[in-house]
Amino acid sequence: MTTERASTGPLHHDPTRRSVLQFALGAPLAAGLAAAVPVLSALPANAQARPAVPRIERVSIGRGTLRTVGRAAHLREVAGADSAARRSTAVGILATKQIRTDSFSGAALTWSGDAPSEATLLLRTRSRGGGWSAWRALHDDEHGPDPDFPEALRARRGTDFVITGDSDAVELRIETPDGEIPHDLGIELVDAGHSPGDAAVAAPYNGDMSAAASRPTIRSRANWGADESIRGSATYGQVRGAFVHHTAGSNGYSQSDVPGIIRSIYAYHVNGRGWKDIGYNFLVDRFGRIWEGRHGGVTRAVIGAHTSGYNSYAFGTSLLGSYGSTNPSDAALTAIARVIAWKFTVHGVDPTRVSYPSSLTPQPAIAGHRDAGATACPGDRLYSRLSIIRGRVANAMG
């Protein structure tokens, strides 16, 4: 159960709201499973490999919590954001008041059913004790379980998860030409919690691709402090290809920030979106480190929730950060190529062939998320470098 709170006033803090959900510490991976998967299952001796406790809160946004904002004032305030109101005068603007919240470090929007196709959702957050961020336009991230799977029955639509830094207030604007807003709209606010292992991070891979098809170093779920008590059981399919994603959000994170960022995405996917686990099979950071995503064994064909329709036939690797106008590091490109080359070797995938079932739209063996959905993911700068990743994978596999 998530906390729900209506927005009722400027920097309003509702004293009657239900307690923010805090997840209990979960058991670590079973000994047999940990031995079966080729990951770093132990942290350094000076760090405790125990899960951290994320906190997630949903601020419910209904028609009664919204007010009308004039177009001219709105355009002045959202300058620089992707605004539909700037492109058309036939757009109404609805807004919450400024909502004070408990501390959080990441935010996203979710809703039930389909979002109105013409609505633009804009969000800003206030740093704890500081100023407000710029307005961000958030879009349907097109992630999710395959529609014919049980996991999809309780899934909510949602936007990319935005890393905000330590924050304590939020405000939402909705630009809508027909007055419609998403059904059961909520602002999901996540605080990742802290784990003793967050700062105990090993050095990144050195970038050598000479043995890329051999098993790379993959940091385990225990290394990023996963609370295993909140996830469901793994299901298995096939690996015929790979999809490359980005997570959106900040690119300026440090090495010690990464475990908390992954925990935040995990909490958002499970308790914000209603999925049974984090959607990606692997995550890569800008320092070139590879992290285990969805539970079930990195050598196995675990079905994720990253590219709807293709999850049963492909694994998903997501680069932490936003790459629409920022170039991915060469270390990150190398890490993505390494994990793809190794997985293709494990599952016997030819990186030069298209081998999805005929019922699906043909895709390259290594594709970007946008190839299979109406999304900008993995960002223009990362998408334009898929040819580099493909070349490195092909060279590594001989």
Q: Provide the CATH number for the domain around residue 267.
A: 3.40.80.10
The tokens for 395 are 């060279």
If DSSP codes are grouped into helix, strand and coil, which group holds residue 337?
Answer: helix
pLDDT at 16: 29
Q: Is residue 213 part of a domain?
A: no
- Residues 270, 135, single domain; the answer is no
The tokens for 175 are 């630009």
* Domain interval for residue 114: 55-191
d(CA 239, CA 242) in angstroms, rounded, equals 8
Q: Is residue 5 part of a domain?
A: no
- Give Cα separations from 207 to 85, 332, 354, 388, 389 (angstroms): 45, 9, 28, 14, 13
Q: Is residue 285 part of a domain?
A: yes
- Point out which residues pair with 32 in neighbouring strands: none
- Residues 111, 240, single domain; the answer is no
- Residues 161, 74, single domain; the answer is yes
Q: Is residue 48 part of a domain?
A: no
Task: Kindly give, in sequence order, each residue whose CB lies less than 8 Å from that of residue 116, ignoring residues fewer than 6 positions away.
Answer: 176, 178, 180, 181, 182
Q: Is residue 353 part of a domain?
A: yes
Phi, psi of 23 (to 5 degrees): -85, 135
- Residues 165, 266, single domain; the answer is no
Structural domains in the chain (count): 2
- Residues 169, 311, single domain; the answer is no
The tokens for 249 are 């959000």
Judging by DSSP bridges, how do beta strands 162-176 and 290-292 pair with one another? unpaired
The answer to whether 65 and 5 have CB atoms below 8 angstroms apart is no
The tokens for 308 are 């709807």
- Residues 176, 239, single domain; the answer is no
Q: Is residue 47 part of a domain?
A: no
If DSSP codes are grouped into helix, strand and coil, which group holds residue 81?
Answer: coil
Q: Which of 226, 103, 245, 89 is CA-nearest to residue 170?
A: 103
The series of mean pLDDT values per 10 residues for the chain, 398 residues long, is: 42 35 29 36 47 88 93 90 84 94 95 81 93 93 89 92 93 92 95 81 53 82 92 97 92 93 95 96 97 97 96 97 95 97 96 90 95 92 98 93
Q: pTM to 2 decimals?
A: 0.84
- Residues 177, 288, single domain; the answer is no
pLDDT at 24: 29
Burial of 353 per CB tally in 10 Å (0-12, 13-18, 19+): exposed
- Residues 238, 151, single domain; the answer is no
pLDDT at 179: 86
- Residues 262, 171, single domain; the answer is no
Sign of the CA dihedral with 241 first, then 385, 304, and 216 last: positive
**Domain ends where: 191, 226, 253?**
191
d(CA 104, CA 170) in angstroms, rounded, equals 10
The answer to whether 60 and 186 have CB atoms below 8 angstroms apart is yes
- Residues 246, 369, single domain; the answer is yes
pLDDT at 290: 97
Residue 312: count other Cβ atoms within 10 Å of its Cβ.
20
**DSSP 8-class letter at 264:** H
**Domain ends where: 191, 207, 230?**
191
- Residues 248, 119, single domain; the answer is no
**Domain ends where: 140, 173, 191?**
191
Judging by DSSP bridges, how do beta strands 366-368 and 218-219 pair with one another? unpaired
For the chain, the distance separating the N- and C-terminal CA atoms, rounded to the nearest angstrom, is 50
- Residues 178, 230, single domain; the answer is no
Q: Is residue 363 part of a domain?
A: yes
Q: Is residue 379 part of a domain?
A: yes
- Give Cα separations from 340 to 14, 36, 55, 318, 331 (angstroms): 47, 19, 32, 11, 14
